[in-house]
């Protein structure tokens, strides 16, 4: 081995090799900049949010098997890149329900949102409008239809409807959404009763929140959340009267287990905009809805929050697209935690995807800025994945780019 001659380094030689990071004095900006994935935002959210609202977001029904399987399904994707393509520029947008979106995902409807962060739905609507994607307001939202419209007047706002036993009250909300300029109605059809969300029961997640010594102790190390909660408008569902009880009890009291396809057809006649049916979990139901003339079907098991062990929407996607994709748009949600999950969904035929928890983790991590960071993370992952696959546009993504690896292989089903 040749002798290595050593010398004392000179400052002018070291300077080009060493670059010190400029300090960020804004604590919120710094913590959001240090989040590189949605899971990073989740960890920040968990540190900054008391257990009850965090678990309401993070949890699902019973043993939480459905959400675990949904996420695993996305992890069990094998991509097949095409090489030597000019991917210097990629287009991440296209038309969804007749209007352009800049990214192939939107913000899903979520309830109790101001409990996660005081900016609540306003933060989501503003961030979505800024990004050129739709924002969905839930029937169980904590900001009114009119206030969301005023906060994002140039945004594309959708309204999600739960059909109540009181049909007049349900349709009054639909009428308000239409008058406020909401262009799409998402009718959720997988809640004849509330799912058994055990984390909420154990945490005393009621409306208003039930304070116990454990609740107070858990909130004390999170003063910003506590101050915001106490100094802003008391939490309530903006579309409903005040309620004293658990979320599950509210759902069971309000929601109508007698709703049928005929009721859906009646709703369609009343609504002037686009109609999406959320909560579809079988090919047969997708075909029946397509025959009914809906504008899109949303494959969803409610983020695993209703029936545990429900079908995995991402697994259903290829079969549903094959059966009805030429006649109606197919959208998908549940389990999406990265831009690569979204790209895989588009490649298998989805026209659009919705994110729920991913958006709420950003909200809890930093209000509107946190939501914008979540969108930024997903956008970057979408662009990078498309380039690595050799796809310059969403139209170039196709099933040849994706293999769904099999982990759970069903046995043949018994016939009735």
Cβ neighbourhood burial of 106 (10 Å; 0-12, 13-18, 19+):
buried
The pLDDT mean for the chain works out to 89
CA–CA dist 296, 332 (Å, integer): 10
Residue 1 has pLDDT above 60, yes or no: no
Spot the catalytic one: 302, 315, 331, 401: 302
302 is catalytic: yes
Nearest residue to 344 (alpha-carbon basis) of 332, 356, 360, 355? 332
Confidence of residue 238 (pLDDT cuts 50, 70, 90): low
Q: What is the pLDDT of residue 124?
A: 98
Confidence of residue 201 (pLDDT cuts 50, 70, 90): confident
Q: What is the pLDDT of residue 217?
A: 77
Question: Residue 35 has which token pair?
Answer: 């989040």
**Is 34-404 CATH 3.20.20.70?**
yes
Nearest residue to 158 (alpha-carbon basis) of 118, 191, 124? 124
Confidence of residue 416 (pLDDT cuts 50, 70, 90): low
Cβ neighbourhood burial of 348 (10 Å; 0-12, 13-18, 19+):
buried
The rounded Cα 273 to chain-centroid distance in angstroms is 22
Q: What is the pLDDT of residue 245?
A: 56
Domains of the chain, by residue range, sit at: 34-404
Place of tokens 């959001």: 32
For the stretch 278-329, pLDDT in tens is 999 999 999 999 999 999 999 999 999 999 999 999 999 999 999 999 999 9
- DSSP label of 240: S
- H/E segment holding residue 343: helix 339-347
Question: Residue 5 has which token pair?
Answer: 């001659």
Cβ neighbourhood burial of 14 (10 Å; 0-12, 13-18, 19+):
exposed
Nearest residue to 359 (alpha-carbon basis) of 333, 383, 384, 340? 333
Confidence of residue 149 (pLDDT cuts 50, 70, 90): very high
CA–CA dist 352, 347 (Å, integer): 11
pTM of the model: 0.91
For the stretch 175-186, pLDDT in tens is 999 999 999 999
Q: What is the pLDDT of residue 107?
A: 98
Whole-number percent of the chain with pLDDT over 90: 66
- DSSP label of 393: B
Question: Residue 12 has which token pair?
Answer: 């002018």
For the stretch 350-408, pLDDT in tens is 999 999 999 999 999 999 999 999 999 999 999 999 999 999 999 999 999 999 998 88
């Amino acid at each position: 081995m040749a002798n290595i001659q050593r010398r004392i380094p000179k400052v002018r030689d070291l300077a080009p090799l060493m670059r010190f990071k400029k300090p960020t004095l804004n604590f919120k900006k710094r913590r959001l900049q240090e989040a590189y994935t949605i899971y990073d935002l989740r960890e920040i959210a968990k540190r900054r949010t008391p257990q009850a609202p965090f678990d309401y977001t993070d949890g699902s029904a019973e043993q939480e098997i459905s959400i675990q399987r949904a996420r695993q399904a996305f992890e069990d994707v094998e991509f097949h890149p095409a090489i030597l393509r000019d991917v210097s520029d990629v287009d991440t947008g296209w038309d969804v329900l007749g209007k352009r979106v800049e990214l192939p995902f939107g913000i899903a409807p979520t309830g109790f949102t101001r409990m996660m962060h005081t900016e609540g739905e306003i933060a989501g609507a503003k961030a979505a409008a800024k990004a050129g994607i739709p924002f969905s307001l839930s029937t169980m939202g904590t900001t009114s239809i009119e206030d969301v419209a005023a906060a994002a007047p140039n945004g594309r706002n959708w309204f999600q409807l739960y059909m109540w036993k009181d049909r007049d009250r349900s349709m009054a909300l639909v009428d308000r959404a239409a008058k406020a300029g909401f262009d799409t109605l998402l009718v959720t059809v997988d809640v004849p009763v509330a799912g058994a969300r055990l984390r909420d029961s154990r945490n005393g997640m009621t409306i208003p929140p039930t304070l116990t010594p454990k609740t107070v102790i858990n909130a004390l190390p999170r003063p910003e959340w506590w101050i915001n909660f106490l100094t802003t408008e008391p939490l309530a569902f903006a579309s409903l009267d005040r309620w004293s009880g658990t979320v599950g009890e509210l759902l069971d009291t309000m929601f109508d287990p007698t709703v049928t396809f005929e009721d859906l057809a009646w709703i369609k006649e009343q609504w002037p905009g686009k109609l999406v049916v959320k909560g579809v979990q079988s090919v047969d139901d997708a075909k029946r809805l397509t025959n009914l003339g809906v504008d899109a079907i949303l494959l969803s098991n409610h983020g695993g929050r209703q029936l545990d062990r429900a079908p995995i929407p991402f697994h259903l996607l290829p079969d549903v697209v094959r059966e009805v994709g030429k006649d109606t748009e197919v959208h998908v949600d549940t389990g999406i935690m990265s831009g690569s999950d979204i790209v895989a969904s588009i490649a298998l035929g989805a026209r659009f995807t919705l994110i729920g928890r991913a958006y709420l983790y950003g909200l809890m991590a930093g209000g509107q800025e946190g939501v914008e960071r979540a969108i930024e993370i997903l956008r970057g992952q979408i662009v990078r994945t498309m380039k690595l696959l050799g796809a310059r546009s969403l139209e170039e993504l196709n099933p040849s780019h994706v293999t769904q690896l099999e982990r759970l292989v069903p046995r043949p089903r018994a016939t009735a």
